[in-house]
């Protein structure tokens, strides 16, 4: 069935949504309050969504609970087939979604089409293959061990890769046999309504997927604390992750967390320095630095520090900042004024603590006074204890740290509360892999190895626990039962 207000991707047109998707229908929310969505490049209101309430969450959880038994009993291959249909529906609306997400978030539209929409299409499409990789039943001695869906899943997702993070949770949860109550970020929520329309068109049984928009303190906390929710999957800040865990603990429900990062990029002394630094700058600045796994700490041999600075400066200054709908743009704005001020504050702190600013700074890029833009920024002579080397900035800010030898590099790389991602560069791949094994982090790029959407994604330490993507994500949403025969 159709949503109450249709999405439009035309630039400058408002996208106002006045209903939630619950129980297979577009329903009026319990309250009348709304949340404005702001275009990151123009600073103008581009639409609005309902400001959901705990009452809305309660209705959605009830619908998910009612749908659970029937969905769990549906053959896994059939559940995966629904995901295939959803993938096709997203693909059909790829251009619309890319324009919408670029307006909400600020990522250049070409990258949005490839990453922000392309990865969700893959996440749903891969389920038909992944469902065959799960040992749904196996014999262990005199026991039949079976894997069953975890139950009703509360999915709480972030603003930086909005549809990708939704798909990374919803697709495996549905395939596992779970029903879902989704709360997308209130900063970039409009794309979730397109997904709901696609799901509705695919004919998913009522209540299997439910969408409730709202704020974290109202809707997110209501989901995490709800006794009818069997599991929570959360992606966001470490601070918010602690709060979700605290609320979920009251009903002893499992929580999967994908949180912050401060990822090291270790360039060893035998690496191709030019290639390594240029790639590292790109990995740091992707999505204007608003990436939890961004390689924001570049570790280089002390003897090569000056050369690395020169290469990084040239790469940063060559990155064209501009309107996200301009095909020539490589870096768009940050998502909001709040985020821009946060990043500016970290740049100021870097200068105050003695890091050397080699390019960029807190001032807006020339000619871009409107929009939440920040200049691509590189600091050098950063020491491990500095704030910009320890805290997640979430903006286009690179910290270059010198090290003395390989052991020193590993020590600095692991000197972090986080452990989400990392990189190692070496002329000897075996040496690079040996160093990568020493890093306390969930994934490591070797010589710029490309992102694999079927490999497990998740972190060590305060970057969270649990894994997303591929077969590993599917297993997160399954419980194990032993039948003693």
**Mind telling me the catalytic residues?**
258, 292
Q: CA 171, CA 472: separation in Å to the nearest integer?
A: 12
Of 3, 7, 31, which is closest to residue 19 (Cα–Cα)?
A: 3
Could you tell me which residues are beta bridge partners of residue 36?
A: 48
CA distance 95 to 389: 38
Residue 172 burial by Cβ neighbours in a 10 Å radius (0-12, 13-18, 19+): buried
Are the beta carbons of 289 and 396 closer than 8 angstroms?
A: yes
Q: Is 403 buried (19+), middle (13-18) or exposed (0-12) by CB count in 10 A?
A: buried
- Residue 18, judged by CB atoms within 10 A of its CB (0-12, 13-18, 19+), counts as middle
- List, in order, residues 6 or more apart from 413 with CB less than 8 Å away: 264, 266, 297, 299, 422, 439
- Give the separation between CA 238 and CA 260, rounded to whole angstroms: 6
For residue 299, CA distances in Å to 168, 406, 408 come to 31, 10, 10
Residue 56 phi, psi dihedral angles, 5° rounding: -65, -40
What angle do helix axes 118-125 and 76-92 make, rounded to 10 degrees? 160
261/391 Cα distance (integer angstroms): 8
In angstroms, the CA 185 to CA 399 distance is 28
Q: How far is CA 380 from CA 303, 360, 485, in A?
A: 13, 12, 64
């Amino acid at each position: 069935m159709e949503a109450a207000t249709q999405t439009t991707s035309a630039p400058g047109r408002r996208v106002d949504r006045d209903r939630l998707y619950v129980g297979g229908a577009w329903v009026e929310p319990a309250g009348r309050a709304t949340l404005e969505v702001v275009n990151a490049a123009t600073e103008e209101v581009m639409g609005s969504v309902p400001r959901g309430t705990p009452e809305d969450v309660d209705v959605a959880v009830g619908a998910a609970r009612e749908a659970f038994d029937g969905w769990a009993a549906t053959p896994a291959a059939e559940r995966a087939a629904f995901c295939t249909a959803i993938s096709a529906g997203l693909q059909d609306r790829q251009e619309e979604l890319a324009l919408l997400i670029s307006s909400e978030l600020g990522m250049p539209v070409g990258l949005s089409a490839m990453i922000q929409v392309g990865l969700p299409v893959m996440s749903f499409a891969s389920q038909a293959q992944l469902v065959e990789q799960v040992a749904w039943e196996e014999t262990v001695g005199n026991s039949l061990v079976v894997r069953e869906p975890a139950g009703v899943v509360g999915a709480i997702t972030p603003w930086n890769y909005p549809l990708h993070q939704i798909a990374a949770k919803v697709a495996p949860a549905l395939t596992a046999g779970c029903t879902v109550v989704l709360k997308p970020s209130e900063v970039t929520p409009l794309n979730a309504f397109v997904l709901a329309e696609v799901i509705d068109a695919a004919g998913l049984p009522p209540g299997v997927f439910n969408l409730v928009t709202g704020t974290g303190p109202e809707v997110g906390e209501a989901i995490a604390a709800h006794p009818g929710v069997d599991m929570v999957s959360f992606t966001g800040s470490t601070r918010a992750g602690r709060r979700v865990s605290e609320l979920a603990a009251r009903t002893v429900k499992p929580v999967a967390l994908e949180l912050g990062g401060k990822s090291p990029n270790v360039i060893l002394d035998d690496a191709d320095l030019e290639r390594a630094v240029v790639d590292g700058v790109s990995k740091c600045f992707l999505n204007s630095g608003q990436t939890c796994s961004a390689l924001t700490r570049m570790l280089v041999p002390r003897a090569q520090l000056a050369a690395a600075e020169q290469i990084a400066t040239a790469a940063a200054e060559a990155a064209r900042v501009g309107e996200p709908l301009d095909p020539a743009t490589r870096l768009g704005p940050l998502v909001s004024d709040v985020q821009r001020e946060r990043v500016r504050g970290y740049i100021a702190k870097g200068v105050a603590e003695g890091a050397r600013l080699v390019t960029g700074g807190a001032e807006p890029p020339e000619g871009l006074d409107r929009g939440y833009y920040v200049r691509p920024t590189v600091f050098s002579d950063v020491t491990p204890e500095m704030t910009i080397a320890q805290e997640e900035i979430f903006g286009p800010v690179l910290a270059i740290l010198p090290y003395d030898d390989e052991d020193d590099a590993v020590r600095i790389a692991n000197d972090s509360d986080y452990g989400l991602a990392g990189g190692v560069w070496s002329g000897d791949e075996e040496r690079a892999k040996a160093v990568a094994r020493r890093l306390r982090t969930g994934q490591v790029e070797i010589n710029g190895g490309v992102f694999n959407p079927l490999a497990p994604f998740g972190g060590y330490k305060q970057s969270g626990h649990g894994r997303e993507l591929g077969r590993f994500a599917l297993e997160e949403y399954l419980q194990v039962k032993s039948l003693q025969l």
